[in-house]
Amino acid sequence: MKHVYLDNNATTRVDPQVVSAMLPFFTEQFGNASSMHAFGAEVSGAIKSARKSIQALIGAEHDYEIVFTSGGTESDNTAILSALEAMPGRDEIITTAVEHPALLQLCDYLEKSRGIHVHVIPVDTHGRLDIAAYKAALSPKTAIVSIMWANNETGTIFPVVELAELAKEAGALFHTDAVQAVGKIPIDLKSTQIDMLSISGHKLNAPKGIGVLYVRRGTRFRSLLKGGHQERGRRAGTENTPAIVGLGKAAELALAHMDVENTRVRELRDRLEKGLLQRIPNCFVTGDPYSRLPNTCNIAFEFIEGEGMLLLLNREGIACSSGSACASGSLEPSHVMRAMNIPYTAAHGALRFSLSRDNTDEDVDRVLDALPKIVEKLRALSPFWAGAGEAPKTFNPVYA
Amino acid sequence: MWDYTDKVKEYFFDPKNAGVLEEANAVGEVGAIACGDALKLMLSIDPETETITAAKFQTFGCGSAIASSSALTEIIIGKTLDEALKITNQDIADFLGGLPPEKMHCSVMGYEALQAAVAHYRGEEWADDHEEGALVCKCFGIDAAMIERTIRSNELTTLEQVTNYTKAGGGCMTCFETLEEILAKTNAAMVDEGLIAVKEAYSSGSTDVLALKKKSREDKIRARERASAASAPIQISGLQLKPDEPDPAPAKRPVMTTLQKVKLVEKAIENIRPFLKADGGDCELVDVDGDAVYVKLSGACVGCQMASHTISGVRQKLVDATGMPLRVVPVS
């Protein structure tokens, strides 16, 4: 049975072209870029050309604005911690309720351990940011604003270009976690006021363990890791050359496929979404349908729980993900679903399908064929389900 | 990806007894949709014999919640209410070949639904003080709320006591800092409430954890040495026991006076105690009535996830020693 992989917001397949580009850098061009000999020289050339590919993908003005890191989490941590050190007299952070844990848990930690004031901006039921609350939170105390470009669970895109302009007016730094947006939608940083931006390699067909923090020229910055002059003193540690070369190749491919992503992938996503909504009663799309990544679709199925659907889909060879509590090991459903105030009865039954350019019409058909039966099966087991269109029966568990 | 046993998968993919039981005369509804699980257990009970003749369920929840519900119905069909009420959540987990620690609450939900259904049948109120906190000890599936309750009710003030009473932190120990935090916070609140003195309260970081670990290892070695020195080879460590083994056939049951029986039971329990003590627990004989042996578990056995294994182990030992099909009933 051919596997249908629809979990590309979790991680992507490393493109075979990326693998071929990387291979020589393990056994032949294995030098240390800092070395004063031929081994070093050819490696530093390869790193420079990877930097240029990423510069092109995100429309950065200079290639040296690209700082290689170990991934999105390190990039996010570096941005926030740098701003708190480098922005004198400013000690507040503004972020949103739907950020990735790489940011929210760091902010939580900073609040508890250092007493940093963190403003968490809420979203509405469609995942749209409360702009008025954001404006009200900006002040001369704001060190940094960190707002994701696109949400990993719903695909909702935030207007970061405008949000960055507002931050600038308040004199604050603006960082965006763009791990889900880079490679999926066109980005042109030089025409924006965004100071820092995080990229994760494995979300765009490069390997895991490599990422980028874009740092705009002239941005006040303090490195997170100490101990080396690499990346112009902004990220210590010998460069992970094979992965950097891989990310460079992946950036090239992403740029070349940007149109495909926004036409063919978008069409597949739309067909999947419409098909499921037609075939399955009592389900709805979460997030902002008008401002959304072309590859992501999050649908909440009422009265059933996500993990059961994932297990049954997995048996059919279909992989996607869920915001349900039981699939994550905590008791709360996804913080993104909660922030959007999606009722518990639906939040636990939210499934995320995230497509890629590798997906086909046949993949979509497989889901359209399998999922309606799965939902029906689980609803037949659910004490909350009373048939399509009807209100659920009264069901009052003892300690609900 | 959760590490589910084949039995869990089997009972999730093809659940037995799923659906609505029209003729149900006992219904138990438990769970909380906020936590992502809820269970409606429907039983048909024969009023003459108080036997469960049919059981069906509807569950909102993950794979293991559905499997646990289905397993529960399979376990209880054909049992009398008294027999069914003795089933613990551990029995449900065992029936499924075990559950991941994060998913033990699924088996607890099954246990509670059964209690609620029987209470409903008998016209009693069933209220559970069930309150689930964040999972702290992943080795034994102990949550924060349970740890805090145990600290309060036993006035615990050291990390070692917390491990002995709850078992939390007795495995891989990665949670010990969280345990310290809970202990320090709870003790501080207890000081404020005047329950313990300031100098008794625990402060985080005051335990030499490495020494604690070494000590627990040494205790275990000593216990093992004592075990091999003891005359009768006893296997009491929970993992070696098979709690679901049926009673040995009562083929050659010796005729015994009650006094003789009590003496044998007493002696058998005395033989078991050193092994329980080695794990920070203890067990004392309270009463013997017919085939029921009432024991009181204390120390680390209280609230321990393995307590039902221990009870089964004690029973096995008593059955071996007396040759009688005894039941062990824990009392508090």
Q: Are A58 and A187 in contact (CB under 8 A)?
A: yes
Q: For residue A368, what is the domain's CATH number?
A: 3.90.1150.10
Which one of B6, B33, B143, B181 would you mutate to disrupt binding with A, by most A Cβ within 10 Å of its Cβ?
B33
Q: What is the 3-state secondary structure (H, E, C) of A153-216?
A: CCCEECCHHHHHHHHHHCCCEEEEECCCCECCECCCHHHCCCCEEEEEHHHCCCCCCCEEEEEC
Hey, what CATH topology would domain B6-121 get? Sufe protein. Chain: A (3.90.1010)
Token duo for residue B66: 């559905």
Q: Are B85 and A333 in contact (CB under 8 A)?
A: no
Q: Which residues of B197-212 are buried (b: 16+ CB within 10 A; e: fewer)?
A: eeeebbeeeebeeeeb
Angle at A321 between CA A315 and CA A327, to 5 degrees: 85
Beta carbons of A324 and B62 less than 8 Å apart = yes
Beta carbons of A326 and B58 less than 8 Å apart = no
Is the CB of residue B29 less than 8 Å away from at least one CB of chain A? Answer: yes
Q: Specify whether A101 is located in the same domain as A124.
A: yes
Nearest to B279 by CA among B317, B329, B239, B319: B239
Q: Specify whether A371 is located in the same domain as A301.
A: yes
- Residue among A315, A327, A396 minimizing CB distance to B29: A396
Q: A216 falls in which pLDDT band (50, 70, 90)?
A: very high
Q: Specify whether A213 is located in the same domain as A276.
A: no
For residue A50, what is the enclosing H or E element? helix A38-58
Q: Are A304 and A382 in contact (CB under 8 A)?
A: yes
SS3 A119: strand
Q: Which residue is closest to A394 within chain B, CA to CA?
A: B29
Residue-wise DSSP of B217-286 = HHHHHHHHHHHHHSSS----SGGG--TTPPPPP-TTPPP--HHHHHHHHHHHHHHHHHHHHHTTEEEEEE
Q: Specify whether A78 is located in the same domain as A135.
A: yes
Q: Which residues in A lie closer than 8 A to residue B29 (C-beta atoms)?
A: 383, 395-398
Beta carbons of B30 and A304 less than 8 Å apart = no
B7/chain A closest Cα distance in angstroms: 14
Beta carbons of A395 and B19 less than 8 Å apart = no
Beta carbons of B12 and A311 less than 8 Å apart = yes
Q: Which residues in B lie closer than 8 A to residue A344 (C-beta atoms)?
A: 33-34, 36
Angle at B31 between CA B28 and CA B32, to 5 degrees: 145
Which one of A301, A304, A311 would you mutate to disrupt binding with B, by most B Cβ within 10 Å of its Cβ?
A311
Architecture of domain B233-330: 2-Layer Sandwich (3.30)
Last residue of a domain, one of A256, A286, A313: A256
Q: Where are the domains of chain B?
A: 6-121, 135-207, 233-330
Structural domains of chain A, count? 2
Q: Which residue is closest to A324 within chain B, CA to CA?
A: B36
Given a cut of 70, whether residue A397 has pLDDT beyond it is no
Beta carbons of B61 and A325 less than 8 Å apart = no
Is the CB of residue B134 less than 8 Å away from at least one CB of chain A? Answer: yes
The identity of residue A35, as a single letter, is S
B212/chain A closest Cα distance in angstroms: 28
Q: Specify whether A203 is located in the same domain as A282.
A: no
pLDDT for the residue numbered B245: 44
**Number of CB atoms found within 10 A of residue B279's CB:** 23
Which residue do the tokens 């992943």 mark? B138
Q: For residue A240, what is the domain's CATH number?
A: 3.40.640.10
Q: A373 falls in which pLDDT band (50, 70, 90)?
A: very high
Q: Which residues in B lie closer than 8 A to residue A382 (C-beta atoms)?
A: 58-60
A102/chain B closest Cα distance in angstroms: 20
Which residue do the tokens 């702290």 mark? B136
B57/chain A closest Cα distance in angstroms: 8
pLDDT for the residue numbered B35: 65
Q: Which residue is closest to A384 within chain B, CA to CA?
A: B60
Q: Are A159 and A288 in contact (CB under 8 A)?
A: no
Token duo for residue A57: 């993908």
Q: Which residues in B lie closer than 8 A to residue A308 (C-beta atoms)?
A: 12, 61-63, 66
CATH 3.40.50.1000 fits B135-207, yes or no: no
Beta carbons of B33 and A380 less than 8 Å apart = no
Q: Which residue is closest to B13 within chain A, CA to CA?
A: A312
**Number of CB atoms found within 10 A of residue A323's CB:** 25
Which residue do the tokens 């048939």 mark? A387
Per-residue pLDDT of A231-269, as tens digits, reads 999 999 999 999 999 999 999 999 999 999 999 999 999
Q: Specify whether A331 is located in the same domain as A234.
A: no
Q: Which residues of B264-277 are buried (b: 16+ CB within 10 A; e: fewer)?
A: bbeebbebbbbbbb
Distance CA A163, CA A146 (A): 10
Q: Which residue is closest to A397 within chain B, CA to CA?
A: B30
pLDDT for the residue numbered B21: 94
**Number of CB atoms found within 10 A of residue B222's CB:** 12
Beta carbons of A381 and B18 less than 8 Å apart = yes
Beta carbons of B63 and A308 less than 8 Å apart = yes
Q: Which residues in A lie closer than 8 A to residue B62 (C-beta atoms)?
A: 305-308, 324, 326-327
The verdict on residue A262 lying in a domain is yes
Beta carbons of A305 and B60 less than 8 Å apart = yes
Q: Which residue is closest to B39 within chain A, CA to CA?
A: A383
pLDDT for the residue numbered B282: 83
- Residue among B9, B102, B128 minimizing CB distance to A329: B102
Q: A393 falls in which pLDDT band (50, 70, 90)?
A: very low
The verdict on residue A390 lying in a domain is no
The identity of residue B19, as a single letter, is G
Q: Which residue is closest to A321 within chain B, CA to CA?
A: B1
Told to judge if B304 belongs to the known catalytic residues of this protein, a careful annotator would answer no
Q: CA B218 → CA A319, B23, B214, distances in Å?
A: 48, 58, 6
Q: Specify whether A232 is located in the same domain as A301.
A: no
Distance CA B87, CA B71 (A): 12
Distance CA B279, CA B66 (A): 34
B41/chain A closest Cα distance in angstroms: 10
Q: CA A320 → CA A14, A286, A295, B12, B100, distances in Å?
A: 18, 16, 13, 19, 22
- Residue among B9, B61, B130 minimizing CB distance to A305: B61
Interface confidence (ipTM) of the complex: 0.83
B253/chain A closest Cα distance in angstroms: 46
Q: Specify whether A250 is located in the same domain as A291.
A: no
Residue-wise DSSP of A364-378 = HHHHHHHHHHHHHHH
Q: Which residues in B lie closer than 8 A to residue A307 (C-beta atoms)?
A: 62-63
B203/chain A closest Cα distance in angstroms: 17
Q: Are A98 and A124 in contact (CB under 8 A)?
A: no
Q: Which residues in B lie closer than 8 A to residue A305 (C-beta atoms)?
A: 36-37, 60-62, 65
Token duo for residue B185: 């916070």
Q: What is the 3-state secondary structure (H, E, C) of B118-187?
A: HHHHCCCCCCCCCCCCCEEECCCCEEHHHHHHHHHHHCCCCHHHHHHHHCCCCCCCCCHHHHHHHHHHHH
Bridge pairing between strands A4-5 and A318-319: parallel
Q: Specify whether A166 is located in the same domain as A76.
A: yes
The verdict on residue A1 lying in a domain is no
Which one of B6, B35, B64, B132 would you mutate to disrupt binding with A, by most A Cβ within 10 Å of its Cβ?
B35
Mean pLDDT score of chain A: 93
Token duo for residue A389: 């269109």
B150/chain A closest Cα distance in angstroms: 21
Is the CB of residue B99 less than 8 Å away from at least one CB of chain A? Answer: no
Domain that includes residue A312, residue range? 258-381
pLDDT tens-digit profile, chain B (332 residues): 778 999 999 999 999 999 999 999 999 998 766 667 889 999 999 999 999 999 999 999 889 999 999 999 999 999 999 999 999 888 999 999 998 877 877 888 898 899 999 999 998 877 665 556 778 887 777 888 889 988 998 899 998 888 888 888 877 888 888 999 999 999 999 999 999 998 889 988 777 776 766 666 666 666 666 655 554 434 443 333 343 444 444 444 446 677 878 888 888 888 888 878 877 788 888 888 878 888 888 877 666 666 777 777 788 778 777 777 788 888 87
Which residue do the tokens 């048996």 mark? A315
Measured over the CA atoms of residue A47, residue A53, residue A57 and residue A61, the dihedral's sign is positive
Same fold, B135-207 and B233-330: no
The verdict on residue A6 lying in a domain is no
Per-residue pLDDT of A137-164, as tens digits, reads 999 999 999 999 999 999 999 999 999 9
Given a cut of 70, whether residue A58 has pLDDT beyond it is yes
Q: Specify whether A246 is located in the same domain as A270.
A: no
Beta carbons of A326 and B126 less than 8 Å apart = no
Q: How far apart are the first and last CA of chain B?
A: 39
Beta strands (DSSP E) in B17-102 are 26-32, 37-46, 51-60
Nearest to A355 by CA among A327, A322, A319: A319
The verdict on residue A389 lying in a domain is no
Mean pLDDT, residues A310-339 taken together: 82
The verdict on residue A361 lying in a domain is yes
Last residue of a domain, one of A230, A256, A282: A256
Given a cut of 80, whether residue A395 has pLDDT beyond it is no
pLDDT for the residue numbered A353: 97
Q: Which residues in B lie closer than 8 A to residue A332 (C-beta atoms)?
A: 34
Is the CB of residue B124 less than 8 Å away from at least one CB of chain A? Answer: no
Q: Which residue is closest to B115 within chain A, CA to CA?
A: A398
Which one of A305, A335, A379 would you mutate to disrupt binding with B, by most B Cβ within 10 Å of its Cβ?
A305
SS3 B59: strand
Residue B72 DSSP class? H
CA atoms lying within 13 Å on the CB side of residue A1: 12
pLDDT for the residue numbered A400: 33
pLDDT for the residue numbered B318: 80
Q: Specify whether A71 is located in the same domain as A210.
A: yes
Nearest to B45 by CA among B28, B69, B67, B63: B28
**Number of CB atoms found within 10 A of residue B322's CB:** 22
Q: Specify whether A375 is located in the same domain as A292.
A: yes
The verdict on residue A37 lying in a domain is yes
